[in-house]
Structure 1
Amino acid sequence: MTDFPKTLRLMERGRDFLGSDYAILCGAMSWVSERNLVSAISNAGGFGVIACGAMTPELLDAEITATKAMTDKPFGVNLITMHPQLFDLIAVCEKHAVGHVVLAGGIPPKGSVEAIKGGKNPAKVIVFAPTLALAKKLLRSGGDALVIEGMEAGGHIGPVSTSVLAQEFLPELSEDHLVFVAGGIGRGQAIAGYLEMGAVGVQLGTRFACAKESIAHENFKKAFFRANARDAVASVQVDARLPVIPVRALKNKGTEEFTAKQRDVAGTLDREEIEMAEAQLQIEHYWAGALRRAVIDGDVENGSLMAGQSVGMLKEEEPVADIMQKLMAQSEEALTRR
């Protein structure tokens, strides 16, 4: 801890909020951010976050129980706002006294923030916002901290780069609010820069996806090690009526299959066979299945290889503890040099 005094000082508010040694969150990656990786990150001084994704309340209950058996350090749970059983999932988090709940995937539905903060075991709420106006609204409505995530990130992304978001949000919000920066961060030098701009911490996903403790298939990890930044491309929206959030992943056959899936779902909308909400849910289920094929089954041709543009910096499998120490040492070196 005493090896990184400058970085720790700039992270102080984020560390106090998370209860971790370092204000470094691991982004919630479906199938990847589970008990093994989450506990390893928390044990290494960071803040692991379980990716609930499409889990049922029963599955989430088991995952939290298993994670608590592997670490006594704080960790959080990421919930998708459009999940049909969102309030049941919130109840599971409350049952386990989970300290931090991350709400992702859209504007939190009415009553969800209150449910997280108002139970017997109230939790802190972390929100995402793509615009400054929405960020201010979510923070006024009970969000305790904000993650701004640029388009360089893997998985679901917005249209604006991390560096632009940081310049827009941090001067406006950092004095009175806790803001974490995410998207395209692969080295500690970038962490130092965002901390100096006013961020209280950062979130990284791709950097941890191929850690030794990650259960991702060997084929999945090898695909990451072979890739460079330009291989991580954003999906294309086929039908303007279908509000599909772009997804960044390594280009393969699965990328092309998603385009075909969108056309198929748009056709069912044309025939009025489903409602728009169901159409969006079908798209989300497609991604969950495609990601599982790549991460768990190792089908890197047809599965989804969600990756941020920092993927080009990954060259080998490393223990989480080593990754964490490298990031902190790089940040400290950058701050010392300045």
Structure 2
Amino acid sequence: MTDQRGRARLDELWRRGCEFLGTRHAILGGAMTWVSERNLVSSISNAGGFGVIACGSMSPDLLDMEIRATRALTDQPFGVNLITMHPDLEDLIAVCREREVGHVVLAGGLPPGKAIDAVKAYGARLICFTPALGLAKKLVRSGVDALVIEGSEAGGHIGPVSTAVLAQEILPHIRDVPVFVAGGIGRGEAIAMYLELGASGVQLGTRFVCATESIAHPAFKKAFIRANARDAMPSVQVDKRFPVIPVRALANAATEAFMDTQRELVARFQAGQIDQQAAQLEIEHFWAGALRRAVIEGDVEHGSLMAGQSVGMVTAEQPTADIIAELVDQAAAALAGR
């Protein structure tokens, strides 16, 4: 009876998110470049969650192929995450339209009005990220259908504010559209907490990296399983004249090399051996290809091990269905006693 009460409460709390996504559980898979491809995306959707393809730097042709390949593996809803800075953004949206993708996520910056209009024009539901309440309100006015608030505990590129603070700042004031919470979520008890605060669902990335269906290299998965929360650190900026967008990843040899590279370039700039623009470009290019080296090739020393602080709760390789069932059971159990 207690279990039934918890499940009923969970169903009630995330009903809006489930209806928006068309899923059994309001759990989105975070779009992780090289990881969130057809195999993981389809397994999340088949398990009742909502898989999201990470387009990243894919060309329109590659995205078209990935959507079709994912459709061959699942008949359940899934979405596509597009980076707003992609030079072919309009063409990528056109691919989503042609393939009748029902949900599009625009990430990596403020979405251009033209992109918002293009997604809305063909009838897809548009999801965007917001790092602050003011921007959340602006996005809703622009016609965005749902929001994701992602705190600094997340992996990859991060903002400065924690998930818990963002949730308190935004959830009480945004009621017009569903809001999904992301960043640092590794257990169902946290899902229950954010739902009770007013979220319509959650998004998890790090928790799915070691799914059996994930194509991440065994060495990459092993690094996650061995890591704890303190190992997932944001990249450090050496000199304010050369800004670095923080990226949270597991510390390794590449982390130290990045620091050394920044120091060397700053010294060369101060000595007049290189201009500021060229130095900034070298800093920004340091990580080019580093994520693929780690995820696909298994170079966990010199590649980028992007991971959220919830990595400490990744303790084994598991089928995606088991991960989602575990999260749902934990959330229902937490709600049963309240």
Give TM-score, length-normalised by structure 2. Answer: 0.92
Structure 1 residues 252 and 110, CA gap change in structure 2 (3 angstroms)? same
Whether the 8 Å contact between 1:30 and 1:288 is mirrored in structure 2 is no
**TM-superposition CA deviations, 1:217-254 (whole Å, max 9, x none):** 00001111111100000001234355432110000012
- Residue of structure 1 equivalent to 2:157: 156
Letter in 2 for 1:5: A
- Residue of structure 1 equivalent to 2:146: 145
Decide which structure has the larger Cα Rg and report it.
2
**TM-superposition CA deviations, 1:133-176 (whole Å, max 9, x none):** 11111111121111000111111111011111111111111x32
Q: Give the secondary-structure state (helix, strand or coil) at the position aligned to 1:165.
A: helix
- Residue of structure 2 equivalent to 1:53: 56
Structure 1 residues 47-126: aligned runs within 5 Å: 47-119=50-122, 122-126=123-127
Where do 5+ consecutive residues of structure 1 fail to align?
A: none
Are 2:31 and 1:21 equivalent residues in the alignment? no
Structure 1 residues 72 and 189, CA gap change in structure 2 (3 angstroms)? same
Shift of 1:269: 8.4
Where do 5+ consecutive residues of structure 2 fail to align?
A: none
Whether the 8 Å contact between 1:24 and 1:202 is mirrored in structure 2 is yes
Are 2:128 and 1:131 equivalent residues in the alignment? no
Letter in 2 for 1:270: D
- Residue of structure 2 equivalent to 1:270: 275
Distance in 2 separating the partners of 1:64 and 1:335: 36
Higher deviation after alignment, 223-232 or 259-268: 259-268
Are 2:226 and 1:226 equivalent residues in the alignment? yes
Distance in 2 separating the partners of 1:53 and 1:69: 21
Shift of 1:272: 4.8
Structure 1 residues 39 and 294, CA gap change in structure 2 (3 angstroms)? same
Whether the 8 Å contact between 1:54 and 1:288 is mirrored in structure 2 is no
Distance in 1 separating the partners of 2:11 and 2:302: 42
**TM-superposition CA deviations, 1:248-303 (whole Å, max 9, x none):** 000001222334555688869835559x8xx49x83x6545111001000000000
Distance in 2 separating the partners of 1:154 and 1:32: 13
Letter in 2 for 1:244: V
Q: Give the secondary-structure state (helix, strand or coil) at the position aligned to 2:147.
A: strand
Aligned residues: 330
Distance in 1 separating the partners of 2:163 and 2:274: 34
**TM-superposition CA deviations, 1:182-223 (whole Å, max 9, x none):** 000000000000000000000000000110000000000111
Q: What percent identity do the matched residue pairs reach?
A: 66
Distance in 2 separating the partners of 1:19 and 1:155: 27
Structure 1 residues 10 and 55, CA gap change in structure 2 (3 angstroms)? same
Letter in 2 for 1:179: V
Letter in 2 for 1:132: L
Are 2:42 and 1:33 equivalent residues in the alignment? no
